[in-house]
């Protein structure tokens, strides 16, 4: 005699994790499907920030600072009185000290998950609208992979993911290469 198990029994359904056990976040060769390989592309995603879908967001797991650039600051209709002071120095990729406008805490939605992110608003050129870094990844409980062009994070007991956009990443790279800083003379 056999006993039928209910598909809603979480302890016996192989597709669902057991209650209390967080899903394992990892990457395999299958995660590379749909990407251009080999590549050296940055991980550029779209996030929902302050209720808007924001494109050209770079994921930088090597940084401790989340950055917002002027295009996004203006696009979200933020004003100087929305900012709190931020006094630590920040150095750009070119080694220059960056002019800081201040800091702002905004809600960032990823799928069903919503986390607060403290963005440092800078007055500097970037082909990206924003950079999210380790604080965002850690708060979300996420892991990222530039090789696989994905961010994976736990959500409602399962693994959810955000796919990077290699085409946009390459456009940003070209824009960064073509950009000439305003302080250089054109002589």
- What's the pLDDT tens digit per position in 22-40? 788 999 999 999 999 999 9
Predicted confidence at residue 17, as pLDDT, reads 47
pLDDT for residue 93: 67
Single pTM value for the model: 0.82
42-54: pLDDT as tens digits: 999 999 999 999 9
Tell me: pLDDT of 6 over 90: no
**Structure confidence by residue, pLDDT tens digits, 74-84:** 999 999 999 99
Q: Please state which architecture CATH assigns to domain 40-177.
A: Beta Barrel (2.40)
Instruction: Report angle CA 83, 89, 90 to the nearest 5 degrees.
Output: 85
Q: What angle do CA 60, 139, 46 make, to 5 degrees?
A: 50
Q: Which two tokens stand for residue 16?
A: 């669902």
Task: Note whether 108 and 132 are within 8 A (CB).
Answer: yes
* pLDDT value of residue 106: 97
* pLDDT of res. 9: 44
| Predicted pLDDT at 20 | 67
Beta strands in 35-138 (DSSP E): 43-49, 52-60, 66-68, 99-110, 113-123, 130-133
First to last CA, the chain: 89
Residue 103 has pLDDT above 60, yes or no: yes
* Cβ-contact 152, 160 below 8 angstroms: yes
pLDDT given at position 117: 97
Q: Which of 78, 71, 120, 131 is nearest to 98 (CA)?
A: 120
What is the structure's pLDDT at 97? 81
Is the per-residue pLDDT at 69 higher than 60?
Answer: yes
CA distance 63 to 102: 18
The chain-wide mean pLDDT, for the chain, equals 86
Domain boundaries, the chain: 40-177
Residue 57 structure tokens: 């967001």
CA max distance for the chain: 89
């Amino acid at each position: 005699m056999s006993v039928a198990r209910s598909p809603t029994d979480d302890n016996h359904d192989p597709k669902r994790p057991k209650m209390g056990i967080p899903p394992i976040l990892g990457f395999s060769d299958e995660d590379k499907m749909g990407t251009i390989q080999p590549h050296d592309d940055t991980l550029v995603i779209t996030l929902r920030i302050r209720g808007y879908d924001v494109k050209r967001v770079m994921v930088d797991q090597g940084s401790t600072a989340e950055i917002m650039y002027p295009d996004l600051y203006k696009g979200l209709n933020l004003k100087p009185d929305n900012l709190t002071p931020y006094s630590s120095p920040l150095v750009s990729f070119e080694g220059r000290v960056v002019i800081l406008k201040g800091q702002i805490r905004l809600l960032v939605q990823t799928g069903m998950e919503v986390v607060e992110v403290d963005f440092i608003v800078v007055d500097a050129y970037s082909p990206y609208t924003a950079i999210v870094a380790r604080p965002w990844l850690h708060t979300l409980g996420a892991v990222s992979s530039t090789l696989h062009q994905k961010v994976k994070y736990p959500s409602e007991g399962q693994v959810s993911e955000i796919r990077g956009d290699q085409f946009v990443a390459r456009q940003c790279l070209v824009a960064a290469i073509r950009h000439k800083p305003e302080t250089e003379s054109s002589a």
